[in-house]
A and B are shown apart, each in its own frame.
Chain A
Amino acid sequence: GAGVSQSPSNKVTEKGKDVELRCDPISGHTALYWYRQSLGQGLEFLIYFQGNSAPDKSGLPSDRFSAERTGGSVSTLTIQRTQQEDSAVYLCASSLGGGNTGELFFGEGSRLTVL
């Protein structure tokens, strides 16, 4: 597709369940980012991929959170044993990866609600 695609767009789950969120970046973009946004708040960095490697995982809140990227393309963010405080919109972004232009291309996000 032309833009960053995320699925599911909405996910409601019960506390303690595991969830997987998927991101399909713009074709050819080597850099991929996951952010989290709580209602009315700013964007909180989670993890950054360059190709299939994650040089910066500093934003992952706990060991319940993990992410992988395969084939330099699709990425999956997994949250194990979800808690209510995990409820947020999870945004994925991609960029060409070279240089620092300040421009990321975001998907519309996956809204996670943990009951």
Chain B
Amino acid sequence: GQSLEQPSEVTAVEGAIVQINCTYQTSGFYGLSWYQQHDGGAPTFLSYNALDGLEETGRFSSFLSRSDSYGYLLLQELQMKDSASYFCAVTPQAAGNKLTFGGGTRVLVKP
């Protein structure tokens, strides 16, 4: 089976950098995804790591290390609008195209 662990909540100030870790136990997967969800809104795709290493998309970067069963999402130059929940997810190899999600990390950005 698959299990993904994330911190439940992180608080930071505007302009700061936040790293959200995701550790997983899975028998095999195609890649690690990250999603953002504002309260009452739809989850929206942020990034996908199929290979080990860092992927950068503007202020957000995502990292994967399969040997360490670990990944993270890095949020830089935090803005108030970044206050949201962030979910990591894996695409298990034995389970078609569905994603298995972690419990989510609520990020609160303060002025």
Those of B8-51 within 8 Å (CB) of chain A: 30-33, 40-45, 48, 50
Is there an interface contact between B45 and A105, defined as CB atoms closer than 8 Å? Answer: yes
Query: Does residue B60 face the partner (Cβ distance < 8 Å to A)?
Result: no
Name the CB-closest residue of A to B102.
Answer: A42
Does B89 make an interface contact (CB < 8 A)?
yes
> 8 Å CB contacts to B: which residues of A68-111?
91, 93, 95, 97, 100-109
Chain A residues with CB below 8 A from B89, complex form? 43, 102
Q: Does B98 contact A (CB under 8 A)?
A: yes
Is B58 part of the binding interface, using a Cβ–Cβ cutoff of 8 Å?
no
Chain B's closest residue to A43 (CB) is B101
With known contacts A41-B103, A41-B104, A42-B87, A100–B42 Cβ distance under 8 A: no
| Contact code string B82-93 (vs A, CB < 8 Å = 1, else 0) | 000001010100
Q: How far is the CA of A101 from the CA of B89 in the complex (A)?
A: 12
- From B33, B40, B96, B103, contact of A102 by CB (8 A): B33
Taking CB atoms and an 8 Å cut-off, the chain B residues in 55-91 that contact chain A are 87, 89, 91
Q: Is the CB of B30 within 8 A of A102?
A: yes
Interface centre among B87, B91, B98, B99 (most CB of A within 10 A): B98
Which of chain A's residues have a CB closer than 8 A to the CB of B32? 102
Q: Do A43 and B43 touch (CB < 8 A)?
A: yes
Per-residue interface assignment for chain A, residues 34 to 58, with 1 indicating a CB less than 8 Å from any chain B CB and 0 otherwise? 0100001111110010100001100
CA distance A95 to B35 in the complex (A): 15
B interface list, Cβ under 8 A from A: 30-33, 40-45, 48, 50, 87, 89, 91, 95-104, 106
Given contacts A48-B97, A108-B42, 11 further A-B contacts (CB under 8 A): A33-B98, A35-B101, A42-B87, A43-B89, A56-B95, A56-B98, A102-B30, A102-B32, A102-B48, A106-B42, A108-B41
